[in-house]
């Protein structure tokens, strides 16, 4: 299934498809790269129903709900990620292309994220090419996501998402995700500390960090 990855890797083109698509098609809005300091936690159904009010009580602002369908395009480097997201919010649908790579920051791994908005045409071409090259149906799942935001003491934007996830097999269900995007590596540790404190504030306890949705999806699909 992944023999094509080796050919791509030989040419050192981990992000080859997005660059190719930008040369072929228009309609790409590019954002700057960030370090995505993110932690995900499995929560109960009761917590999922109650946490919205809890977040409002500690000064988070409700942003809204989005339906997201994420489809993963195979990449040459194991663990890296290339994702096409169809996101509908307030009756408007947009398409996002996200690439993530692992980087080492003070003996822990974090994701370096590069995300850009693309047109529906680019998204479909991306998925068609990915499926042809993979020789199999691409892995995907969906979720309903409620967004809440506030700023921490250092002025960093904190986003908490309450997700109801489908398509992960036994891993489907409710999750809480906390995310802080920082532009510089030197700010990563402060973001980690902020998340650790916030988990205690929101859940009233520390809790094991869940794997990424992509890893859960891969495990589910392999069984």
Residue 124 has pLDDT above 60, yes or no: yes
- Domains of the chain, start order: 3-221 (2.40.320.10)
Pairing of strands 108-118, 61-72: unpaired
- Which whole number is the average pLDDT over 115-123? 94
- Whether residue 178 is predicted with pLDDT greater than 70 in this model: the reply is yes
Question: What is the per-residue pLDDT across 136-160, written as a single tens digit (0 to 9) for each?
Answer: 999 999 999 999 999 988 889 999 9
Give per-residue pLDDT as tens, 56-108. 999 999 999 999 999 999 888 888 999 999 999 999 999 999 999 988 898 88
pLDDT tens for residues 195-206?
Answer: 999 999 999 999
Percent share of the chain, pLDDT over 70 = 86
Dist CA 132 CA 41 (whole Å) = 34
pTM of the predicted protein model: 0.85
- A 10 A CB-CB count for 56 gives 12
What is the Cα–Cα distance from 40 to 92, expressed in whole angstroms? 27
Q: What is the pLDDT of residue 134?
A: 87
Name, in order, each residue with C-beta under 8 angstroms of 216's C-beta and a sequence gap of 6 or more. Answer: 168, 171, 210
pLDDT digits (tens, 9 = 90+) for 211-220: 999 999 999 9
**pLDDT digits 0-9 by tens, 12-38:** 344 444 454 444 443 444 445 789 999
- pLDDT of 4 above 60: no
């Amino acid at each position: 299934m992944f023999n094509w990855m080796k050919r791509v890797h030989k040419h050192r083109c981990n992000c080859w498809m997005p660059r190719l698509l930008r040369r072929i098609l228009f309609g790409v809005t590019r954002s700057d790269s960030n370090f995505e300091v993110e932690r995900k936690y499995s929560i109960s159904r009761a917590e999922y129903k109650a946490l919205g009010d809890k977040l409002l009580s500690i000064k988070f602002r409700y942003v809204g709900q989005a339906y997201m369908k994420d489809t993963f395009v195979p990449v040459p480097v194991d663990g890296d990620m290339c994702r096409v997201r169809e996101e509908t919010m307030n009756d408007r649908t947009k398409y996002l292309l996200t690439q993530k790579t692992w980087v080492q920051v003070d003996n822990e791994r974090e994701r370096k994220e590069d995300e850009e908005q693309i047109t529906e045409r680019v998204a479909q071409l991306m998925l068609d090419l990915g499926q042809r090259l993979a020789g199999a149906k691409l892995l995907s799942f969906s979720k309903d996501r409620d967004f809440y935001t506030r700023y921490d003491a250092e002025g960093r934007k904190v986003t908490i998402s309450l997700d109801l996830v489908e398509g992960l097999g036994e891993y489907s269900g409710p999750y809480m995700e906390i995310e802080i995007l920082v532009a510089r590596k030197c700010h990563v540790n402060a973001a980690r500390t902020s998340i650790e404190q916030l988990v205690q504030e929101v859940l009233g306890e520390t809790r094991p960090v869940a794997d990424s949705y992509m890893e859960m999806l891969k495990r589910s699909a392999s069984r």
